[in-house]
Structure 1
Amino acid sequence: MTIKIKNVKDKLAANNYKMTSQRRIILESIIENEGEHLSAEEIYARVKEEEPGIGLATVYRTLELFCDLNILHQLNFDDNCRRYELNHENKHHHHLICINCGSITEFNDEILEDFETGIEQEHNFSVTDHRIKFYGYCKNCQ
């Protein structure tokens, strides 16, 4: 976790921002709950336990800043809730979403990466990002 925090601190400094104690506690909460795709309200509830004086608006502003600086990705799983995950450079992944229990499973598939390369070549198009979500039933809900 220390390396991730240092990398974010460096990125903030490079963009004339400081790693405040509130930004740090929000980042730590996201790192500690990596893979859970938390909403702003869920992040707020977790950081509020450790930092009772923090406000929901501070969490929203911090998440927006982290997204602007490409530290976080904002995700939409069609549940009317924005969710967040760390941006891992060079580690693109996709999501399987259970339509019964709402569980989210990450996966990486080289076939999809090869497909993207083919699209770029066939259409002379430079893909900068893509998001793929598969909906169905997890093993517990089948």
Structure 2
Amino acid sequence: MENRIERIKKQLHSSSYKLTPQREATVRVLLEHEEDHLSAEDVYLLVKEKSPEIGLATVYRTLELLTELKIVDKINFGDGVSRYDLRKEGAAHFHHHLVCIDCGSVAEIEEDLLEDVEAIVESGWNFKIKDHRLTFHGICEKCQQEDRADENE
């Protein structure tokens, strides 16, 4: 984790920002809960456990700065809540998500499934793509199994 924090510190410095203690506390929470897709409020509550002096507005500002610098991605799964996801180091694009419409679970797809689509869009529409997001909404394996079990009763 310390190596990742040091690299994030360098990213901030290269954009003329410092890794203040408040920003570091926020980054640490994001790293510790990397798989959780936390909302700003979730991040704030976890930061507050470790550093009670840090306010909600500071956490919001930090998350917006980290989003602007492409250290984190701000995502919405259609439930009206913005969530924050650390961008994988060295990733050219945002990773894809599978959202279960029954239980709300979120799974990630790390591989880039849209390289061919990007090439078609860039050449066919003369459009330079900088990033993309892909979210599939459906029923996860666990919920499908539960549905089948219910049907067999």
Alignment TM-score, normalising by the size of structure 1: 0.91
Partner of 1:90: 91
Alpha-carbon distance in structure 1 between the residues aligned to 2:27 and 2:100:
27
Amino acid in the other structure paired with 1:106: E
Structure 1: tracts of 5 or more residues without a match: none
Q: Deviations over 1:19-39 (max 9, x none)?
A: 111110110110111121110
Correspondence 1:26 to 2:26: yes
Partner of residue 124 from structure 2, selected from 106, 122, 125 = 122
Residue of structure 2 equivalent to 1:38? 38
* Alpha-carbon distance in 2 for matches of 1:109, 1:14: 28
Task: Please provide the CA RMSD for this pair.
Answer: 1.5
C-alpha distance in 2 between matches for 1:40 and 1:108: 23
Instruction: Using structure 2 for the length normalisation, give the TM-score.
Output: 0.85
Distance 2:20 2:31 in 1: 16
Match of 2:137 among 125, 135, 138: 135
Structure 1 residue 117: Cα displacement: 1.9
Identity level (%): 47
Shift of residue 17 of structure 1? Answer: 1.6
Runs of 4+ in 1 over 6 A off after TM superposition: none
**Whose Rg is larger?**
2
Specify the SS of the correspondent of 1:97: strand
> Could you list the runs of 5+ residues in structure 2 that have no partner in the other structure?
145-153
Letter in 1 for 2:91: N
Name 1:66's counterpart in structure 2: 66
Amino acid at match of 1:81: V
Q: SS of the counterpart of 1:135?
A: strand
Q: Look up the match of 1:103.
A: 105
Q: Does the residue aligned with 2:6 lie in a helix, a strand or coil?
A: helix
